[in-house]
C-alpha cells in the first residue's frame, strides 16, 4: 500500500508540473498575441487527445520561441502561422485558415 501511495504522489507531482508548464505556455501565447482571443486555448498547440499538433511540435522544436515559428506553415495549409494567428484561426489545424 505504501508503494502505491508513493506512486500516486509522484504522478500527482509530475501531472501538476505539466499543467503549470502548459499554463505558462498559454500565458506566453496570450502575451505575444493579445488579439488572438478565440484561439487562446490549449487546442492552439494540442490535439483533442492532448498530443501536440504540428504547431505545438514546432513550438517545442524552437525552444518555445513563438517568433521563431511565425513564418512557418506548421499545418501545411499554405497559410503562415502568424497569418493564422492574426486571423484567429488555428495554426496547427489545416482545416482552420
Q: Residue 36 domain-assigned?
A: yes
CA pair distance 70, 49, nearest whole angstrom: 25
More confident residue, 97 or 71: 71
pLDDT of residue 44: 96
Q: Which three cell numbers stand for residue 58?
A: 514546432
- CB neighbours of 16 closer than 8 A, spacing ≥ 6? none
Q: Residue 30 domain-assigned?
A: yes
Q: Residue 63 domain-assigned?
A: yes
Q: Residue 61 domain-assigned?
A: yes
- CB neighbours of 14 closer than 8 A, spacing ≥ 6? none
Q: Residue 93 domain-assigned?
A: no
Q: Summarize pLDDT for 30-64 with one digit per residue, the tens.
A: 999 999 999 999 999 999 999 999 999 999 999 99
- Give yes or no for a contact between 42 and 26, defined as CB atoms under 8 angstroms apart: yes
Q: Residue 51 domain-assigned?
A: yes
Q: Residue 19 domain-assigned?
A: yes
Reported as a pLDDT band with limits 50, 70 and 90, residue 2 is low
Number of domains in the chain: 1
Q: What percent of the chain has pLDDT over 70?
A: 78
State which residues form the domain around 75.
Answer: 2-86
The lowest-confidence range among 13-27, 34-48, 72-86 is 13-27
Q: What percent of the chain has pLDDT over 90?
A: 70
Task: Indicate whether 15 pLDDT > 50.
Answer: no
Q: Residue 73 domain-assigned?
A: yes
Task: Indicate whether 82 pLDDT > 50.
Answer: yes
Amino acid at each position: 500500500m505504501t508503494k502505491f501511495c508513493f506512486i500516486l504522489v509522484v504522478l500527482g507531482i509530475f501531472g501538476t508540473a505539466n499543467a503549470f508548464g502548459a499554463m505558462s505556455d498559454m500565458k506566453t501565447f496570450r502575451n505575444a498575441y493579445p488579439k488572438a482571443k478565440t484561439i487562446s486555448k490549449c487546442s492552439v498547440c494540442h490535439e483533442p487527445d492532448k498530443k501536440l499538433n504540428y504547431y505545438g511540435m514546432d513550438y517545442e522544436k524552437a525552444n518555445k520561441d513563438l517568433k521563431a515559428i511565425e513564418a512557418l506553415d506548421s499545418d501545411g495549409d499554405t497559410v503562415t502561422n502568424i497569418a493564422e494567428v492574426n486571423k484567429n484561426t488555428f495554426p496547427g489545424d489545416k482545416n482552420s485558415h
